[in-house]
Chains A and B, each alone.
Chain A
């Protein structure tokens, strides 16, 4: 089992690629850089595939498979090994990350072809892959935290890739700092976990929490703290503000980091820590609420955005909200499922947007697009597929996952109608603004100057990833298909061990496990026929189609309706258009006071007066006294001699008078 015994290879490959490109790539040809970057990532993907093959041969009791490489640090009882582990959850994440990552690498070779700092970009990208895989493979919280921060760093570097552009640099900083707030909570959570469990090792923690019950208060605290980290990383309320700005980065970056992989790290972490969350209902509820509200809230913002990437950004936020909603209602599997499908179609959406922008020569405002359907057909079709998928139209990947989430919210063990309602409305809005995007972009008359902008289809190496992802956006969700006709949801079945192994006896792990022995007491599997009908006529589908129609009406049938609507609901419109002034509020409440304090207190008083004052004062004192004392060193030996005698006499006096030598 080469890979399973050497999990580090999966990490080493992208790291090596990053190092090589970063150190030597500067003067290399683009093709050389490409071959290094893509080669390393694809090799990583291949090894992941091999890993999956080997993993499938593992016996149930060998999972999770932990590879412990070396003791990283030990301090008293605090001991951290550099350990990697593989279980079903890891496998899913690995596959998603490495495959989507590989595709986006390939895409980038086309998209970034004309950008400066080519090698730098790919070096960062590889580095990101390394950290993301570390995060996923981690067998304890500390290693996970390394990956966690690492991806944060790469996100910062890549958002600010065009660091000469002030907005980009600021966006990078904003992302970094905002996530830092969450990470603080995460760190505290980790420390608390160590304090409680005397270990940061996943398996140990889970075993102990399963064996000995811990006071719920502590668990809730821990979970909330961890969730704070998730909020920061996965851009949930109230820390989502960085993600829209992060769109300053190159579009592939948005696709990879801010749609497919990094932002989902929070979801992954919550799912990974499910044994803790499952035992803290309050925390669960909070997770669910935050998720649901975020899903709805950011969807509303998405309605009015005109920047194509901004729309996608807010939709990402809202989709992440759905994932957390899923976790919150205990349907981790559904959450992860949506994570995966979302990785596919949202990645695809971003790439298509990138393709559009590429075609429009850098234009991002949808109001200056339109009628691109004929000009860039591949982009159009793939984007349409992705939109259908995210809108949850039956048959597409999004349908299955979103349907499961809402299902769980509606009738799951932690079902909560309010949350479900929020979810459904969010779904409606989602499909509306997504189709709005499509219609604005590809339909209607061109709203741009055709003489200046020469729209052209993207090159081969960009369109191929689109098509692959489009394929996945359609069929990526069909694991769950059999369930509809009374079969088993293979995805859930596959992930089930992770979530049921340490699950509390009372909790219901997954919604629709048909496996009778996995069924919770007092819960009976519905009949198949009902399922299919119920699913197809379920609210999600209805609202999805409804959204489609409304969007069609607004932006194709009678394009002036929105304006009138905006006029009539002027206040609401502006409010939403300005994203509820959240940034401004934050600026007023947090940033300015902080700045003021830093400037007027910390800088001008503490730093300048106290610290510098002390240091300079000491130095000045030393200099002054030295300046006086040095005169003693006249260089004249006779006066030295005199000084010696003075010393001797002084000593004699000391002996005589003080020490009483008489």
Chain B
């Protein structure tokens, strides 16, 4: 009986199912909810991988902020179900096979990646990453990207305000 494996498969199933739902759902809200499902599932997988901080951030920022924004906007506009137009023949016919081919390539490479064999999670695995080290890394070697990102955020806020403001 292998608990981590069970957990992994359960949540990866959830994630994939959610992703599929994102595609199939016609109601944007449903897509959003499915995506939230995917994200939470991934968060759990992160926990399984021992990345607690990332898991928390994943939920907090992604599910808790970004997706809330999405849901909020969907509700605000409330444009109803999406219409299934097919003006782009290219996308209609070539899209799926191409995506599949791409998926094959990526999967192939990832599967044969040198570290793929390593054990990721489970009893044989060292305990999770320490948040302290992570933050130390973030504020030393990655200080500049960090600051840059914060500036990016600031600009994004301003941009969003300017864009969404109703001009009188």
Contacts and interface: CB of A to CB of B under 8 A. Distances in A.
B91 to A, nearest CB: 4
Nearest to B86: A638
Contact of A638 (B91, B102, B106): B91
Contacts of A656: 105
A634 B101 contact: no
B99 interface: yes
B101 to A, nearest CB: 5
Interface in A619-661: 634, 636, 638-639, 641-643, 645-646, 648-649, 652-653, 656, 661
A646 B94 contact: yes
A641 B91 contact: yes
Contacts of B101: 649, 652
Given A634-B88, A642-B90, A648 B102 contact: yes
Given A645-B94, A646-B98, A653-B105, 15 more contacts: A634-B88, A636-B87, A638-B91, A641-B91, A642-B90, A642-B98, A645-B95, A646-B94, A648-B102, A649-B98, A649-B102, A649-B105, A652-B101, A661-B109, A662-B112
Interface residues on A, range: 10 to 19
Contacts of B88: 634, 636, 638-639, 642
Contacts of A662: 112
B93 to A, nearest CB: 9
Given A636-B87, A662-B112, A642 B105 contact: no
Interface in B64-96: 87-88, 90-91, 94-95
Interface of B: 87-88, 90-91, 94-95, 98-99, 101-102, 105-106, 109, 112
A430 to B, nearest CB: 91
A652 B91 contact: no
B45 to A, nearest CB: 25
Nearest to B109: A661
B95 A642 contact: yes
Given A634-B88, A638-B88, A645-B99, A652 B105 contact: yes
Contacts of B91: 636, 638-639, 641-642
Contacts, number: 41
Q: Which 5 A-B pairs have the closest CB atoms?
A: A638-B91, A639-B88, A652-B105, A638-B88, A642-B91
Most chain B beta-carbon neighbours within 10 Å: one of A634, A652, A656: A652
B88 to A, nearest CB: 4
19 contacts: A634-B88, A636-B88, A638-B87, A638-B88, A638-B90, A639-B88, A641-B95, A642-B88, A642-B90, A642-B91, A642-B94, A642-B95, A642-B98, A645-B99, A648-B102, A649-B98, A649-B102, A653-B105, A656-B105
Contacts of A661: 109
Contacts of B95: 638, 641-642, 645
Contacts of A643: 90
A642 B98 CA distance: 8
Contacts of B102: 645, 648-649, 652
A653 to B, nearest CB: 8
Nearest to A632: B90
A639 B90 contact: yes
Interface in A539-591: none
A388 B98 CA distance: 105
A645 to B, nearest CB: 5
A642 B89 CA distance: 10
Most chain B beta-carbon neighbours within 10 Å: one of A636, A649, A656: A649
Contacts of A649: 98, 101-102, 105
A639 B98 CA distance: 12
A653 B106 CA distance: 11
A412 B105 CA distance: 102
A130 B102 CA distance: 79
A387 to B, nearest CB: 91
A12 B98 CA distance: 78
Contacts of A634: 88
A648 B87 CA distance: 22
A634 B105 CA distance: 28
Contacts of B94: 642, 645-646
B82 to A, nearest CB: 12
Contacts of A642: 88, 90-91, 94-95, 98
B83 to A, nearest CB: 13
Contacts of A653: 105
Contacts of B98: 642, 645-646, 649
Contacts of B87: 636, 638
A638 B89 CA distance: 9
Nearest to B105: A652
A649 B98 CA distance: 7
Contacts of B109: 661
Contacts of B112: 662
Nearest to B104: A652
A642 B91 CA distance: 5
A634 B106 CA distance: 29
Nearest to A662: B112
Nearest to B89: A639
Interface string A124-149: 00000000000000000000000000
A643 B99 CA distance: 11
Nearest to B112: A662
B102 to A, nearest CB: 5
B126 to A, nearest CB: 31
A634 B109 CA distance: 33
A394 to B, nearest CB: 100
A366 to B, nearest CB: 87
A642 B112 CA distance: 27
B23 to A, nearest CB: 13
A643 B106 CA distance: 18
